[in-house]
Structure 1
Amino acid sequence: MTTLRSRPASGAAPIAVLAAGHAAVDLYQGVVPALVPFLVAERGLDYGSAAGVVLAATLLSSIVQPLFGALTDRWAMPWLIPAATAAAGIGVGLAGLFGPYALLCAAVALSGVGVAAYHPESARLARAASGDSHTRMGWFSLGGNIGFALAPLLVGPVLAAGGLGATPWLALPALAAALFTAPVVRALAARAAAGPAAEGAGAGRRDDRAAFLWLSAVIGCRSVVFVGLSSFVALYAQQRLGRTDSAVGTAALFTLFAGGAVGTVLGGWCAARWGRVRTVRLSYAAAVPAVAGLLLVPGQVALYGFAALISLALYVPFSLQVTLGQDYLPSRIGTASGVTLGLAVSVGGLAGPAIGLLADHTGLRTALAPLAVLCALAWALARRLPEPGGAPAGPVAPEAVAAVPVAPAGRAGQP
C-alpha cells in the first residue's frame, strides 16, 4: 500500500506555495465581512441587509463546494485552483461597482463560487504534498488564516481612500496568486499522475458515515459562531467603545482573524501530542468562556483580548476537522473536503441574517449571546467523535501518522 510519504510530490516547498495560494483565496472570504461597515456607512444598509451580503457570498458557495468535491474524487482538475483563485478576486472586484443590491449580492456570490471551487482540489493536493503530516497540513491551513487576517488590513485603507468604487483594486492579489501558483499546481498534479500506482484511500478501511455526520454537526456550530462574529464584531467594537471610525472595527476584525494563524499551527502541534479528537474537544470547551468574555467583560483590552482567545479556540480544530473528515470518509476524500470546508461557511452564512434581524430589534450584544451556547453544543457533539481507525484520543505516534494511506491527487476513491 503506497503512502503519501513515499511520493515525490511531498515536501515543504510545494506546501509553502499552496499555502500562499490559500492565503490569496481566503483573503476574499475575509474581505466580504470587512466590507460590511463600509456598506452600512456608504449604502445605508441595515444589519439584516448587510448580513444578506455575507449570506450571498456563502450560500451558493456551500451548495456547490461538495459538488466540486465529488467531481474531483473522479477526475483530476488541477486547473480549477488558479481559475477559482481568479474568480474569487474578480467577484469582489466587481462588488463595489454595482449600485443595486441584487447585483452586489451576485458579485460576491461569484467570489464565493470561486472559493468553493478552489478548496476540494487544493485540499487534496496539499495532503498529497504534506506526506500526511498534521503539521504540514497545518501550514497549508495557516495560509488561509493569514489571508483572512490580512483582509481587513487590505480593505480598510483601500476603501477609506477610494470608497466602494475602489473594490477593483482588491482583485489584484487573486490575479497575481493565480499566475504564481499555476506552475506548481501543474507539477504536483503531473507527479501524482506519474507516480507509482496506489490503492484507493478506502482500501482496507470503511467509511464511518455516523462519525462524519457528528463531525459535520460540530463544524456547523463552529460556522455559526465564526461567521456571526466575523460579520458583526467590527460594528460591535465600535458600539462598545463608543467610536465611529472604521479603525476600531478593523482592529477587532483583524484580531479575530489573526489569532487563527497561531491557532492553526498550534492545532497541528497539539494533535501530534494529544490526538485530533481530544484537541477538538478542548478547543470548543475553551471557546465558551472566550465568547462570554467578549460580550460581558467591559474595556478595550478585554474586548481585543477575548477576540484573540476566540480566534485561537475556533482555529485550533480547523485543519484537524478537515483531515478527520477525510479519514471518516476515506473512499471519498474530495467529497469529505468539500462538505467539511463548505459547512465551515454555509451554516454560518444562513444564520447571519437571523443574527442581523435580531440585532436590529434587540441590539448586537443580545443577538451575539447565543453563540456562547453554540460553542458548548459543539463541545458536547465533539464528545461523540472517535479517533479514525479506532485509535484512542491520545498522542499520535509519528510512525503511525506516516503510515496512513491517501489516494493519489485527483483520483481518490475512483471506482
Structure 2
Amino acid sequence: MKSHLRFCLLALLASSHGVNDFIAGWMLGGGMPSATGWDRLPWLAIYAALAFAGQLPVAWIMDRSPRRHPWLIGALATMIGAAATWKISPGTAIILSGVASAFCHVAGGAIALQLPRGERAIGWFSAPGILGLTLGGWLGSTQGPLAGWVALLPVALLMGCLALRDRWPKVEAMGNPIPTPGVDAHDGLMLLILLALTLRSAVWDLVQVARTSDPHLLFAIAASAAFGKVLGGWMISRWPTVRHVSLTLIVACLLLEFARQSIVGLCAGIALLQSTIPASIVLLHRSFATSAARASAYVLGLTVALGGLVIPLRLDITATLLAVAVAAVLLLWWSIRLPQPQPAG
C-alpha cells in the first residue's frame, strides 16, 4: 500500500472516531432539552451500554464479514441519523449515537490494525476520540443543544469513505493460538491484561470526574491522553511485550499517586496510562491470536464499560491506583515466569 493511500485511510479512520465522540459528547454534555443531570443519567447508562458493552456483539458480527469498511460506512450513516433526529427526538438520537459508536470503534480499530504499520495506526486511530468527547461535552454544557451543522461532519467523512471504497484492506486471516502446554496460562495472562485495563479505565474516569470544574485542566488532560495513545502505538511497535505494558502501568500509577498535584506529573501519568490502550489492542491481536475486531472490542469497549462502574461506587482514587499497580505487578511477574507468546500468523 502506498504511503499517501495509507495516510488518507488512517485520516478517515481517526477523523471518524473523533467526530463520533464529538457528537456523542455534545449530546450528553448538557444538550438534553429541559433536562437536569438526574434526567440525563438513564440516557448516559443507555449510551454506555450500547457504545461500550455493545462492542462485543458487534465484533462477533464483524468476524463473520469479509470486509470491515461497510460497517464503518454504516456507522457514519447512523451518526448522520443521530444528528438529524436530535431536535425531533433526543432519546432516539442518543440510541443511534450509541449504536454508531460501537460500530465505529470496532470497525475503525480492526481496519487500523490491518494497515501497514498497524501498531502505530491503532494509536493514531484511538487518539482523537478523547479530544472529540471533551470538546463536545464542553460545547454541550456551554452552548446548549446540538447544532445542525454538526451533521455535515459525518457527511463529509462518508463521502470520503465511499470515494475510497475499493482501497480498504480485506480482513486478514486470524493466526492460530500458540500450540504449547502453556496456552492455558497464556489465556490467564490475557485475562489479567483485561483486568488491569479495566482498573486503568476506572482511574481515568476518577481523574476526569475530579477535574471537571477546571475546563483548561480538562483539555490539558484530554490532550495528554491523546498524545499517550499515539505514544503507545509507537512504543508497542518498538517493544511488543506484556512486560512493557506492565512497567508502563506501574510508572503511570506512581506518577498519578505522588505527582498528580503537579500539572506536569498529572499529564505525564495520564499519557502513560492511556498509552497502554493501543499497546494492549496490538498484544491481544498479534500475540494471543485474537481477531482484530475482538481485540478492539475488549480494550475499547468491555474494559471501559466495566471501569465505568467505579463512578457510582465512589471509590477512592488512591485505592484504585493501588489496585492497578497490584494487577500490573502480577502481570509483570506472570509474564516473566512464562515464555513470551510470539506474534501469531
Aligned residue for 1:201, secondary structure, equals: coil
Aligned residue for 2:293, secondary structure, equals: helix
Aligned 1:4-403 pairs, distance under 5 A: 9=1, 11=3, 13-29=5-21, 32=24, 38=30, 43-46=35-38, 52-77=42-67, 78-88=69-79, 90-91=81-82, 94=85, 98=89, 104=91, 107-130=93-116, 133=117, 136-154=118-136, 156-157=138-139, 160-161=142-143, 163-164=144-145, 166-189=146-169, 192=170, 200-202=174-176, 208-230=186-208, 232-235=209-212, 238=213, 248-249=214-215, 251-292=216-257, 297=261, 302=262, 304-330=263-289, 332-352=291-311, 354-355=312-313, 358=314, 368-383=317-332, 386=335, 390-391=339-340
| CA distance in structure 1 between the partners assigned to 2:40 and 2:53 by the alignment | 21
CA RMSD of aligned residues (A): 3.6
C-alpha distance 84-36 of structure 1, shift in aligned 2 (>3 A): closer
Deviations 1:30-50 (A, max 9, x none): 65456666369973315xx65
CA positional deviation for 1:307: 4.1
Contact in 2 for aligned 1:85/1:177 (Cα 8 Å) = yes
| CA distance in structure 1 between the partners assigned to 2:12 and 2:255 by the alignment | 30
Q: Flag structure 2 segments of 5+ consecutive residues without an equivalent.
A: none
Deviations 1:145-200 (A, max 9, x none): 12421443355457634x12x344434322322221233354224xx38xxxx864
Code of the residue aligned with 1:86 in structure 2: it is A
C-alpha distance 30-89 of structure 1, shift in aligned 2 (>3 A): same
Contact in 1 for aligned 2:235/2:279 (Cα 8 Å) = no
Contact in 1 for aligned 2:16/2:104 (Cα 8 Å) = no
| CA distance in structure 2 between the partners assigned to 1:54 and 1:368 by the alignment | 22
| CA distance in structure 2 between the partners assigned to 1:252 and 1:37 by the alignment | 17
C-alpha distance 124-307 of structure 1, shift in aligned 2 (>3 A): same
Contact in 2 for aligned 1:21/1:178 (Cα 8 Å) = no
Contact in 2 for aligned 1:16/1:140 (Cα 8 Å) = no
Contact in 1 for aligned 2:200/2:324 (Cα 8 Å) = yes
Aligned residue for 2:308, secondary structure, equals: helix
Q: Flag structure 1 segments of 5+ consecutive residues without an equivalent.
A: 1-8, 239-247, 359-365, 393-399, 407-415
Code of the residue aligned with 1:336 in structure 2: it is A
CA positional deviation for 1:203: 7.4
Contact in 2 for aligned 1:34/1:253 (Cα 8 Å) = no
Aligned residue for 1:75, secondary structure, equals: coil
The aligned residue for residue 245 of structure 1 is: none
Greater mean alpha carbon deviation, residues 17-26 or residues 29-38: 29-38
TM-score by length of 1: 0.68
Structure with higher Rg: it is 1
Deviations 1:353-402 (A, max 9, x none): x15xx4xxxxxxx7555442343244234325649x9348xxxxxxx9xx
Identity of aligned residues (%): 17
| CA distance in structure 1 between the partners assigned to 2:286 and 2:255 by the alignment | 30
